[in-house]
């Protein structure tokens, strides 16, 4: 059973002269409390009180008041839609539980009817009033949306309106509580409700009954208004403070974000923050969780205090820093003089004493939970600085901004570096294409000339034909080697080579490289090759194939640039850096000291490819450097100059605790 008609509509229909008004929920609460207080204060004779709450939760907030009102009358009716336990009952007063889809759920009524005092509040919630009100922003914490709900209706002391309201509400109560028919009848009789309604219809008189002292009502209303005003005032000051803070954070953030240079960002942040908070010092320095010390890099200084710029700050034995690190939250000390942590730490006590720090704030600069640095604020005078929540929040938001700005600046710098690398790589690639083109075209044109001559001149003498053929063959072999070396080098440079490190005996690798050399140059006369490898050398850790390749290339070069009468020596020692150093020396043509480094460049050949008699591609040493770098070794050349012989050294990591002869 539910009733869809509105009490307010029924009232307005019967009494068309009534003009409904708009009320915010806050005003209705104030009026209702004032009306209830008036009943508590005045000496009314068993008044009829009807209060209709939209929902049980609103009733529950007022239940204790109605228990007190119950002392004043036995004719109190409290209506509400049930949510948990509200049900029809007759304990202190009559509880009337109406259906959750009754029109009453949209209404708010309070009626006080006595012989010498009548007043009523009959209102209905305006549709859509629960939706967000755009004029009341969410950011105002103490202005909750509930108090801004809107109602329309009548608040009056006019007897005719109160009589009609009483009649309508009592009829509604009787529907839900037929068991109360006698009680309702009693009150109707006592106040001659029906009779009075009929009479007033005839007279249509607007009689007001307030034959009592209404001061409690007025007093209560004013108190409520004052409280609302105070709440409003607090809300607006909180908005103003918030707006001030936002403006500050914005201005500092803009200053920070104007730059992509980390140093500038930190300096600007220190300056702006220190100035805004009128601190004696504002310090910012980079620090990571594992750092034991940090150097104060940026400082804002109030002219009267000593600078700490460039000071080395203790972190490892600094209990405040360690606490910040553990909780990833800032710490503020109001008075360093009586702080137990500072008193206990000699490092902190000495800072406090030397630099006169009285109040201290340490805020971490974090990015995704990782420490990037620290912001410190110092106040150095008496009385100590009482840190306000607003200040702590401000420093925290600036530290967050610094963290983001630093990461952005760093990413930008990395991007720039990467860009430069890419540009360099692109330049190298273009050079490489040009050089390779040239290196390939040269033998190709020789081959072409030889083959064309052979094809077009059938009468060519047999000996010349043989020369042509062998030149073509020789140059095609040179091209093959060039292409092969070029591919090897690009694979090594682009990291496309898979390394298979193993423990190796250096003597065996040298033997392998020499046997490879001997098979290749069986017809040529090559210089004498000596090896001086101590038996007790430790094993080395490298990829065997590539190690043999390096040795073979170096020995091959030594043979190429040393007359057959000369001598080549291969030595190995274990050096002080846990590396084995292999040296290939020759007594050949030597290298000018200013060329010792560029011989490792691609295509470097002292005499130029065209004039070369020794063969080779100019890529051998570049390949050797890539291979040796691959196992974190070093390769370099030594020579005292022309005809003084050369020494090529390279290093290989040693296998710990190993010896070749074991």
Interface with ligand ADP by CB under 6 A: which residues?
557-558, 561, 586, 588-589, 591, 599, 604-606, 616-622, 646
CB–CB of 642/522 below 8 Å? no
Residue closer to ligand ADP, measured from CB, 418 or 564: 564
To the nearest whole angstrom, how small is the minimum distance from the Cβ of residue 605 to ligand ADP? 4
Buried b (16+ CB within 10 A) or exposed e, 185-198: eebbeebebeebee
Q: Residue for token digits 């990782």?
A: 370
- Tokens representing 551 are 């040795």
To the nearest 10 degrees (0 to 180), the angle between helices 462-493 and 620-630 is 30
Residue closer to ligand ADP, measured from CB, 342 or 621: 621
To the nearest whole angstrom, how small is the minimum distance from the Cβ of residue 446 to ligand ADP? 18
To the nearest whole angstrom, how small is the minimum distance from the Cβ of residue 562 to ligand ADP? 7
Residue closer to ligand ADP, measured from CB, 167 or 587: 587
Residue closer to ligand ADP, measured from CB, 432 or 454: 432
Opening angle at CA 62, ends 151 and 53, nearest 5: 40
Per-residue CA distances from 182 to 76, 174, 178, 185, 187 (Å): 14, 10, 9, 5, 9
Residue closer to ligand ADP, measured from CB, 387 or 603: 603
* Distance (Å, whole) CA 454 – CA 451: 5
* Distance (Å, whole) CA 52 – CA 31: 14
Instruction: List, in order, residues 6 or more apart from 41 with CB less than 8 Å away.
Output: 216
Residue closer to ligand ADP, measured from CB, 538 or 588: 588
To the nearest whole angstrom, how small is the minimum distance from the Cβ of residue 527 to ligand ADP? 11
To the nearest whole angstrom, how small is the minimum distance from the Cβ of residue 561 to ligand ADP? 4
To the nearest whole angstrom, how small is the minimum distance from the Cβ of residue 508 to ligand ADP? 23
Instruction: List, in order, residues 6 or more apart from 333 with CB less than 8 Å away.
Output: 320, 339, 341, 342, 359, 360, 361
Per-residue CA distances from 516 to 503, 548, 549 (Å): 21, 9, 10
Per-residue CA distances from 253 to 160, 397, 436 (Å): 65, 9, 53
Residue closer to ligand ADP, measured from CB, 258 or 520: 520
Neighbouring CB atoms inside 10 A of 624's CB total 23
Residue closer to ligand ADP, measured from CB, 562 or 651: 562
* Distance (Å, whole) CA 593 – CA 115: 123
To the nearest whole angstrom, how small is the minimum distance from the Cβ of residue 608 to ligand ADP? 9
To the nearest whole angstrom, how small is the minimum distance from the Cβ of residue 371 to ligand ADP? 48
To the nearest whole angstrom, how small is the minimum distance from the Cβ of residue 495 to ligand ADP? 21
Residue closer to ligand ADP, measured from CB, 403 or 616: 616
CB–CB of 368/222 below 8 Å? no
């Amino acid at each position: 059973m539910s009733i869809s008609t509105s009490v307010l509509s029924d009232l307005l229909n019967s009494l068309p002269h009534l003009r409904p008004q708009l009320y915010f929920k806050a005003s209705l609460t104030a009026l209702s409390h004032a009306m209830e207080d008036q009943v508590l204060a005045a000496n009314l004779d068993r008044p009829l009180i009807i209060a209709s709450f939209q929902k049980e939760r609103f009733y529950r907030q007022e239940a204790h008041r109605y228990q007190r009102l119950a002392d004043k009358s036995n004719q109190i009716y409290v209506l509400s839609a049930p949510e948990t336990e509200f049900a029809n009952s007759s304990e202190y007063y009559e509880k009337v539980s109406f259906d959750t889809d009754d029109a009453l759920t949209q209404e708010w009524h309070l009626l006080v009817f006595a012989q010498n005092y009548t007043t009523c509040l009959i209102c209905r919630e305006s549709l859509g009033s629960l939706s967000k009100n755009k004029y009341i922003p969410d950011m105002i914490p103490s202005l909750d949306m509930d108090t801004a709900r809107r109602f329309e209706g009548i608040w009056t002391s006019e007897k005719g309106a109160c009589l009609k309201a009483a009649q309508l509400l009592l009829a509604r109560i009787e529907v839900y509580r037929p068991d109360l028919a006698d009680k309702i009848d009693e009150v109707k009789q006592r106040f001659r409700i029906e009779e009075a309604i009929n009479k007033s219809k005839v007279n249509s008189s607007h009689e007001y009954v307030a034959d009592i002292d209404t001061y409690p009502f007025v007093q209560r209303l004013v108190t409520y208004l004052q409280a609302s005003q105070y709440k409003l005032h607090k809300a607006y000051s909180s908005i103003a403070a918030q707006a001030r803070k936002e403006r500050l954070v914005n201005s500092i953030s803009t200053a920070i974000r104007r730059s992509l240079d980390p140093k500038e960002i930190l300096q600007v942040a220190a300056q702006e923050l220190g100035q805004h908070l009128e601190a004696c010092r504002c310090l910012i320095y980079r620090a990571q969780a594992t750092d034991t010390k940090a150097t104060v890099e940026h400082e804002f200084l109030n002219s009267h205090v000593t600078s700490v710029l460039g000071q080395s700050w203790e972190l490892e034995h600094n209990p405040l820093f360690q606490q910040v690190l553990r909780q990833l939250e800032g710490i503020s000390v109001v008075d360093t003089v009586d702080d137990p942590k500072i008193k206990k730490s000699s490092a902190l006590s000495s800072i406090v004493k030397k630099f006169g720090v009285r109040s201290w704030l340490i805020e971490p600069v974090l990015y995704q939970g990782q420490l990037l640095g620290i912001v410190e604020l110092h106040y150095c005078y008496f009385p100590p600085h009482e840190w306000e929540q607003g200040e702590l929040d401000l420093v925290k938001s600036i530290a967050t901004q610094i963290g983001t700005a630093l990461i952005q600046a760093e990413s930008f710098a990395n991007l720039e570096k990467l860009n430069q690398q890419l540009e360099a790589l692109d330049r190298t690639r273009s050079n490489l294409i040009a050089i390779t083109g040239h290196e390939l075209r040269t033998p190709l044109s020789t081959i072409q000339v030889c083959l064309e001559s052979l094809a077009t001149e059938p009468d060519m003498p047999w000996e010349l034909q043989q020369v042509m053929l062998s030149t073509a063959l020789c140059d095609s072999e040179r091209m093959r080697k060039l292409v092969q070396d070029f591919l090897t080098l690009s694979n090594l440079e682009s990291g496309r080579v898979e390394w298979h490190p193993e423990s190796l005996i250096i003597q065996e690798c040298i033997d392998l490289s020499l046997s490879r050399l001997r098979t290749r140059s069986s017809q040529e006369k090559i210089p004498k090759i000596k090896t001086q490898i101590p038996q007790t050398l430790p094993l080395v850790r490298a990829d065997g194939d590539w190690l043999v390749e390096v040795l073979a290339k170096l020995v091959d070069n030594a043979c190429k640039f040393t007359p057959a009468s000369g001598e080549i020596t291969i030595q190995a020692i274990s050096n002080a850096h846990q590396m084995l150093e292999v040296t290939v020396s020759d007594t050949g043509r030597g290298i000018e000291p200013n060329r010792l480094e560029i011989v490792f460049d691609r295509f470097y050949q002292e005499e130029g490819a065209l004039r070369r008699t020794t063969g080779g591609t100019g890529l051998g040493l570049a390949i050797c450097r890539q291979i040796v770098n691959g196992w974190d070794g070093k390769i370099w050349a030594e020579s005292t100059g022309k005809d003084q012989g050369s020494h090529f050294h390279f290093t290989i990591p040693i296998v710990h605790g190993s010896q070749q002869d074991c």
